[in-house]
Each structure stands twice: as structure tokens, then as C-alpha cells.
Structure 1
């Protein structure tokens, strides 16, 4: 059947009580991602009464605590300095209804990419303008009572952990708590250091490479049995247990490298860049919701043949080595030797992985239980990227949404992936 989503006219939801007007200088972690939009989707398969009204009221109360999110970006006329003005102007909110049940939309069965655009409010130009709200929310209710919460935000105001903190707080307030269980902290209360030079260069270059790409949209789950087998094979070789992220990323990296490896140049590099939460490295307080994520490159980058033909244990060790470089990066001891020019990292051979494991989206509960599935949308303007380890109640493993292979390589990638199942 044809799915039709009918949207109400957007309204601005303001803090339920006035907040202190202020002008907050954004941190060095916020600047590289300013005006980049990202969307997340929380799929609730259990009905609650009037979900849009409940969520709208909870949002209004939560904005009292997350006051930056109700403000607007301002750019200094003289110095171009980015700030967030805590104006209390509010968050754009849309209530919507679908003409079908949730199961008819097939959000649990790929392909569903065409449907996602209808389930979230979006910025007019697919990127954020100075005058736009920092946060857009849409609640879409289905005929069966299920609903989807779509959240789109200007990345300057929060990272994924920050948005998850907001949503968890909204759920707590909706269920009757007087205050969020975790007190929100932003760049207004906690000063962060400058980004390490290599990290800053990578992030600035990555934003410059966000261009429309004709990549295949893939939704798949790496079973926990596969992950556990890899972890068992490594046993004590890493000095600490292999993580789900390390195992899943290694499999993605190897399968993709095998699928796209050129016959005439197997010695070309296969860069891997991944996001890492830097909160503990910079001493950020619990509840910090402004950006505190870095993009970490594995240096030196291996060749595509080394990744494709190597033992999976060695590929896991490469991923672990990238994580182990993070403390030295913040200590000013970056290993520049063997690192190509940053621009050289950004081609089709690049793999960018961002993990949503343990960010907290899965804890959101507006009274009917936690989401059956959480999705992050990798838009058409992207480097080869995937959102990994997404919460998915009925899937035992690491759910992954990706746009990182051309259509001509999608079949080969899935065939390589099947070898690990």
C-alpha cells in the first residue's frame, strides 16, 4: 500500500518557564560540526495515549534544563566567532499521522530509506542556517498506536550522547519525575581544550568532502555469535577483552576492502576513521551534552590488501591500535610519521564508522516502554560511512545502517559479509 504521512503545521515549543538569556561561546569541539544536520529515529511499537502531546509537553519542560537547545546560533560580525544565544525561541515541533500501521511501513525490513524522509522534520536546505532552530522534532503516530520520534539537530548544539540525554530526560519528565535523573551540563558550564591539530584537520576536511554520493543504502545485523567467535579467537592477545565495536568494525572494514579492492592497485591505502567519545580524556562532567566527540584516524593507514587479506584478528588489532592512540593525541604526542596528507584520506577507499552503542537512546521511555529500534540516518551528502551498533530490541548483534559502497560493489560486500555469519 502507499504510505501517506500527514504533517501538522510546525509550532515552536519553548521552555515551560523562562530561562536566563545569555550568549554562550561554543567550544572547539562544536565548531567543526556547526551547521551540519543529523537525524535519529526512535521507533516505539507500544502505544501511549496522545504521544505527540505527551512528548511536546515533556520537551517544553526539558528545555528548561537544556537551555542551549532552545536558542539560536549567532556569528560575530567582526571576528566570525560562533556563539549560541539562549533566547528561548524554542524547538520546531511537528505532529504527524500515517495512514497505516507500523508494520506496513516495513521499518524493520530493508529497504526503508525512502520512508525515513517522511518521519522527520528537516531543514529547508538539508543544512542548518543561522536563523533555524537548533532542534527539530516530529512525532508520527500510526493507525495501530505505534509511533516514531524523529529528531533532527544542528550538530553545533550537541552530539549523539547529548541528544540521548535530552530524550531520556524528556521520558523521565513525561513519566512524572520532577527533575532529570542526570543534571545536564553544557559548554556554558564546562570549558573544553582545543582539539588536537590532527583531529581538527581531519574534521575540517571531512566536512568539506560532504558531497552527494550514489551509494547503496544497506541495513544489516552482524550476529552476536559472529562477534563472540572473533572475541574468543583473540582471547588474551589484546591485553583486554575485544569489544563489540572493535569486532564489528573489523568485519566491516575487511568485507568492504575485499569488495572494492582494485585489481590493478592493491597497494592503495584503506583509511579507517571512527568517532570516539572524548569525555573522559578531557574531564567532562557527567551529563555533558555539548559536543565531546573526536574523529580518530588509524595511523599509519594500512593498504587495502593488508586489510582484505589479513587475518581478522590482525584487523581487530588495527582498530584497537587506533583507540590506543587517543590518549597520546590529547597529550600532544600525535604520531605524524606515516600519516598522508589529510586530503589523501578522503576518497572512496575511506571507511568512516560512528558507533551508537551505549549512547543512551535505548533508555528513552515516554510511558509505554523503550524503543524497539533506533536508527541514524546517513544522508546522501556523505563520505563512505555507516552508523554501527544501533539499539535494536529484537536483533541479537550489531545492527548497522550504511552508505559506504557503490551499487556495483553492494553484492560483493554482502557476499563477503555472509562468510562471517
Structure 2
């Protein structure tokens, strides 16, 4: 597989333009929920979709098709065409101005094959920035930068799928958008009733937040063989765990050993948990706001590093199970009481599992994406903290999961060695860890 870092090519961009809704939309104020506007979501997240040439679409221009469908989708999703304002108490509100989303047309003198086989501010600015780049082979790239306060993975996939349906000829989306952000607002009066270690104020005693210029970014492929090797390390009563739980436990343990905190210091694992179906009744179909929590598992570095893999796994599983409707209400209450704090980043490993989010299923008429998902791991101020787990294929065509990791160079060397130890076969056949990166940095 080609390395994205080694690939250079020329991109010709047209001037950015604002795409407003195709029809007049209401001019109104729509407050975000108290889950949406927390400090940890006030950033822009880049997403990227790669599409192959489709002979049936040879006479269609993806730029024109998507631009038109986008304008029509914004009639239904008109808050995306507005602008965020900050009200009293740092409360974020969308002013539905109908100004539009930012759109860029571009051409690149590169083919999809060259990428490999599987390959700012938030207030008063456009809530979406979209760039469609035609490729020399007839394929194209759809890149999107989302203001995360507006939507989570499920929400933005719902919007992109709506654009795709309209691009393929539908008159309206099959799933209509639901705002109803009040469903995830704090209670009156607010009262925190659950433990939320993800928002603890933790001192950075050893300078764990490494300068970004010292960071190394690699992605690791886990196929059937690698997953089987890890599962064999577990006691029989834990082997029924999900693949995600297994990988999260493994990487958290290896990462902790790599960053080498003091043995008695606490390390945290934060996991993105979708709460839509954990409400009774579930949140309405079509809800496209942020509806997740990131509960924290905590261990001392020594216990996590020296105990078998099953120790970390049990912490991960319990953490996922903690999220309930009551937990989500408690998070919203905490946001109001404590002034919308940032989640804890010191000695923290945060995982977002987008394997089943549906990015790769978005179809603008050219079929499903060759790759779809986050364009890079990490939130810029805390780049080493966040890791997106993405379904993909390796250069042999095997299905698996790609896990991106960002660490200091010396810590990355330790991480690789620890991972190799865990993947070592019983027959002493040392398995090489595959580090082919499928992620592209998206600078829109």
C-alpha cells in the first residue's frame, strides 16, 4: 500500500463559495443541547471519502451532482446553513440565517490507486466545509470539515446519506432530520447523580502532553490472525468479548507501557458510547445531534502494565456498560454546573469506534466509498489522545480494523515492541506488526 506521507500531487482549487438551501428556510434561533456544546466538542473534525470511477456515471460531474444535492439537502437540514452564536453561560445557539455551507471545487493530478488499495474557530463561521476533488482516474474525493458541536458520527452520516439520496434522484431524504436538542439538556434544577471521572481535573505531573512536533503517527492493521492471537491471551470466560473491546484493552495497555508514567499514577481510558438506544424510549430516528458520552475507566499505571490483558478488558467492558439514560442526564447537568468543562486528557487514551458508523456506505451515485471516515486521528490540541477505529482492508485484501496511534518517537518504538509481544504466536513465529497507514491529512 502506498504511504500517504510519501505521495505528492498537485491540487487546483476554485474559489470557495457558499451553498445556501435551494429554497427559503426559517430564520430562527435553535439552541444546541448541553451535550453538544461542551468544551471538548468545540472543534472542527475532518472527514474524507474516496470514490472509484463508475463507468455508468461517465457523463456526470461529481462536483455538479453533489453541489446541487447539497443545496436541496440543506432545505431539510437548514441549521447547517446557519451560524453559531454564544449566549449567556457560554450556551451555543444556531442562528438559522440560511447563509449556506462553504463549498470548494477542486481537481488533482493523481489517481485513486496512488493512495493505496483502501484508502479554526467554531463561532460565527460556516458549520460545514465541503471540498469535492476530481481525480485523474475518474474517481473523486469528498472531504468534509464539521463543527463537532452540531453532530456526532451518526448524525453527520445521516446528513451525508441524505445528500447521497438526493444526488441519486430522490425528492426527499428517507430519514427526516429531528432537532429536539432539548432531549439532552440539563434538568431543572441540575443535579449530578453519576460518577464522571472523564471530567476530573488531573494535574500533568510529568509533562505527559508531549509537544506536537515530537509526535509520530502510525496506523496498525488488525486482521483475523491478529485478533485470534490476542483472544488467546484471555481466560475462557472473557473470550466472548467484542473485537472492539479486545483491541481497546490491548492498545490501552501497550500505550500505557509506552508513555511510562509513574507506577502509582492513574491512567484513563475514555470510550465513545452512543446513547441513542439507551434511552427509554430511544431517541427519535433522525436525531442528528451529539448523543454520546465518553465514560472513563481508571487504573494505576502499574496495575494496567503488569496485569494480564483480561484486567484491562474487564475495565473497558464495565466502562461501556455505565452509559444509561440517567448517565446522559447527569453529564448534561454537570456541563451546566461546572461551566462546560473539557474532558480529561492527562494520561488519557480516548477511542472513537466508527467501524459501524456507515461512512463507507454513503453513495452519491458512484457506489459506496473505497474508504470513508475520519481524515486523521486526534483533536489538534491533544493530538496524542484520540484514536479512531476504522474498518478497512490491508494490501492483501484481508478485512480488518485499522487503529491509528500518535505518540512521541521513542514511545512509539516501545509501543511497537509491546504489541509484537502480545501478537507473538504460540509456536514462536513472531508476527510482524503491519503499520500501513490509510489515513490522509485533510487540509481543506
Q: Does the TM-score normalized on the shorter chain lie above 0.5?
A: yes
Paired position in structure 1 for 2:272:
275
**In angstroms, what is the RMSD of aligned CA positions?**
3.1
Q: How do 1:98-137 and structure 2 match up within 5 A?
A: 98-106=108-116, 108=118, 126-128=120-122, 130-137=123-130
Paired position in structure 2 for 1:418:
420
Summarize deviations over 1:167-206 as a string: whole Å, max 9, x none. Answer: 1111111112222222211235x52242984788846979
Query: How far did 1:15 drift?
Result: 1.2
User: Which SS does the other structure have where 2:18 is aligned?
Assistant: strand
Query: How far did 1:211 drift?
Result: 9.1
Task: Write the distance in 1 (CA, Å) between the matches of 2:222 and 2:96.
Answer: 43
Task: Write the distance in 1 (CA, Å) between the matches of 2:195 and 2:134.
Answer: 41
Structure 2 residue 394 is matched with structure 1 residue 387: no
Structure 2 residue 48 is matched with structure 1 residue 45: no
Q: How do 1:5-24 and structure 2 match up within 5 A?
A: 5-24=11-30
Paired position in structure 2 for 1:287:
286
Contact map agreement 2:198 2:270 (CA 8 A) in 1: no
Q: How do 1:208-287 and structure 2 match up within 5 A?
A: 213=212, 214-228=214-228, 230=230, 237=237, 241-262=240-261, 265-282=262-279, 283-287=282-286
Summarize deviations over 1:110-155 as a string: whole Å, max 9, x none. Answer: xxxxxxxxxxxxxxxx332x22100100111111112111110111
Structure 2 unpaired stretches of 5+: 1-6, 203-207, 332-340, 424-430, 432-444
Summarize deviations over 1:2-34 as a string: whole Å, max 9, x none. Answer: 411111101111111222222111110111145
Task: Write the distance in 2 (CA, Å) between the matches of 1:35 and 1:139.
Answer: 25
Which residue, out of 182, 186, 192, partners 2:184? 192
Paired position in structure 2 for 1:60:
71
Contact map agreement 1:46 1:369 (CA 8 A) in 2: no
Per the alignment, do residues 59 and 412 of structure 1 end up closer, same or farther by CA in structure 2, a change over 3 Å counting?
same
Per the alignment, do residues 141 and 200 of structure 1 end up closer, same or farther by CA in structure 2, a change over 3 Å counting?
farther
Paired position in structure 2 for 1:119:
none
Query: How far did 1:105 drift?
Result: 4.2
Summarize deviations over 1:316-336 as a string: whole Å, max 9, x none. Answer: 111001112223634769xxx
Structure 1 unpaired stretches of 5+: 110-125, 334-341
Which residue, out of 353, 359, 362, partners 1:361? 359
Which residue, out of 157, 168, 192, partners 1:164? 157
Worse-matched range after superposition: 385-394 or 249-258: 385-394
Which residue, out of 88, 96, 101, partners 2:98? 88
- Normalised to the residue count of structure 2, the TM-score between the two structures is 0.78
Task: Write the distance in 1 (CA, Å) between the matches of 2:310 and 2:82.
Answer: 47
Paired position in structure 1 for 2:3:
none
Per the alignment, do residues 344 and 96 of structure 1 end up closer, same or farther by CA in structure 2, a change over 3 Å counting?
closer
Which residue, out of 302, 317, 322, partners 1:320? 317
User: Which SS does the other structure have where 1:87 is aligned?
Assistant: coil
Task: Write the distance in 2 (CA, Å) between the matches of 1:175 and 1:236.
Answer: 49
Paired position in structure 2 for 1:397:
400
User: Which SS does the other structure have where 1:390 is aligned?
Assistant: strand
Which residue, out of 54, 75, 79, partners 2:86? 75
Summarize deviations over 1:282-307 as a string: whole Å, max 9, x none. Answer: 43111210111112111xx1122222
Worse-matched range after superposition: 130-139 or 214-223: 214-223
How many residues align structurally? 386
Per the alignment, do residues 241 and 169 of structure 1 end up closer, same or farther by CA in structure 2, a change over 3 Å counting?
farther
